[in-house]
Amino acid sequence: MARPKALVLRSTGTNCEVETALALELGGAEASILHFDRILEDPARLAGYRILAFAGGFSFGDDLSAGRVWGAQLRGPLREALNEHVQGGGFALGICNGFQVLVESGIFEPEARPDERSVALYANASNRYECRWVNLEVQESRVPWLPAGERFPTPVAHAEGRFVAKDLEALRAAGQIALTYVSESGGEPAYPDNPNGAMGHVAGICDPTGRVLGLMPHPERNLFPWNHPHATRRGARDEGEGALFYRRLVETAGA
């Protein structure tokens, strides 16, 4: 059976494209990496890919705001191409800076108001760059490949990841809140378990279709048991929890 094709998009300043491609390959996809400028030149190059992944890093140096410039590129010439990809049953994933890019593109907004901004990612409440391990809990959402109630550890590394929304309950009712921060025991997270002060402890959301997911943490940095700083205390494992995260995405995209 043919492996679903995944395209990891990079831009000036991204730095997570290689490990993201590796995560998708380990998950069963045929992954490749391409600079976003090549898509701007020829949007038809997106054809045939089941998964588009926007890599993390610091696109354009975060000079204006995290993800602002790349998001504007996506919102302009490529918005129709991205919409066609999703409407055709394709999936998209934005990790960290990639999440910021997708927020800036407006892809998470209701279909009736695609240019209205109702969600944003602000500077961390700590006013500093946060690089640490956190725990996530999957919420009831439209994302078909994330089982509600599951918890898993993953690293974060960002300075602008504080999720805010005009109407958090409307997002929850629409099934768009996909992942939240929790404490190690699964309880209410205070800092640093919620590393950025996100409203509602939100770590990741999806678009109204459930096929576009954005999250601040980096599951691709937890592919192997030894990636976790407490690996020897966690018992024998064949893989890191991030490997399962990507494998489920690939399996769903290839179904």
Annotated active-site residue 220? The verdict is yes
Per the residue annotation, which of 96, 104, 130, 228 is the catalytic one?
A: 96
Name beta bridge partners: 5: 30
Annotated active-site residue 96? The verdict is yes
Contact 54, 98 (CB under 8 A): yes
Handedness of CA 81, 82, 86, 90 (dihedral sign): positive
**Nearest Cα to 84, choosing from 252, 212, 178?**
212
Contact 126, 147 (CB under 8 A): no
Contact 109, 118 (CB under 8 A): yes
Annotated active-site residue 116? The verdict is no
Per the residue annotation, which of 85, 201, 218, 228 is the catalytic one?
A: 218
Give the strand pairing for 177-182 and 30-35: unpaired
Per the residue annotation, which of 17, 19, 160, 220 is the catalytic one?
A: 220
Active site residues: 96, 218, 220
